[in-house]
Amino acid sequence: MFIETLFTEPIYFFRIIIIVIFSISLHELAHGWAAMSQGDNTPQKTGHLTLNPVVHMGKESIIFLCLMGIAWGQMPVNPSKFRSPKLGNILVSAAGPLSNLTLGIIFVLMLKLIANLSFSAFFSAEFLYLAARINLTLFLFNLLPIPPLDGFHVFSEIFPKLKPLENTYFGIFAMMLLFIIPEFGIGLSGIADLLMRLMFGGESVNF
């Protein structure tokens, strides 16, 4: 289990915890801000426009993150309040993954800054690399067209025939398969590494 990393690689363990909590909190906030821009004030009314990670993730998610390395978040929204239900649902759903993509790009740019200006004394290149990799992986994962992931809500608005899947066990079954197949996580991380190499102009950025 992931918790074993605390005893074998404590620095790595706490880096993962900090990065994931920060990234998921901003992911959920992005959903909330997008919902507000579409006319839904539910995030504000429920007190979810905050940086408090416990509000966005809940204690159970944070505990599960520490034990298993898996976490989730939530942002209450009311699609019926969107000015345009179809467009609003696409924009609000896409906002979360796009926030992770943005964070990934920012961390890669910070890595480039370190490489070009030798600021490594002030910043940890390993931490920035890990933060970029995690956020790009979260971006890719959340775009999968599987309920309840954001990608499903985006694609089901573009392809309405997918909508009935939301009320079936397909999502639960698919998610279980993804988590028990190690190659899946390795594959997503590999694609994230490829994106980072492309951002670095083809150079390797492993640390």
139-148 contacts at long range (C-beta below 8 A, 24 or more positions apart): 139/97, 139/98, 139/100, 139/101, 139/104, 140/188, 140/191, 140/192, 141/188, 142/27, 142/96, 142/97, 142/100, 143/97, 144/178, 146/170, 146/171, 146/174, 146/175, 146/178, 147/171
User: Is 28 among the residues known to form the active site?
Assistant: yes
Asked if residues 22 and 52 have their Cβ atoms less than 8 Å apart, the reply is no
Active-site option among 4, 9, 28, 60: 28
**Residues with catalytic function:** 28
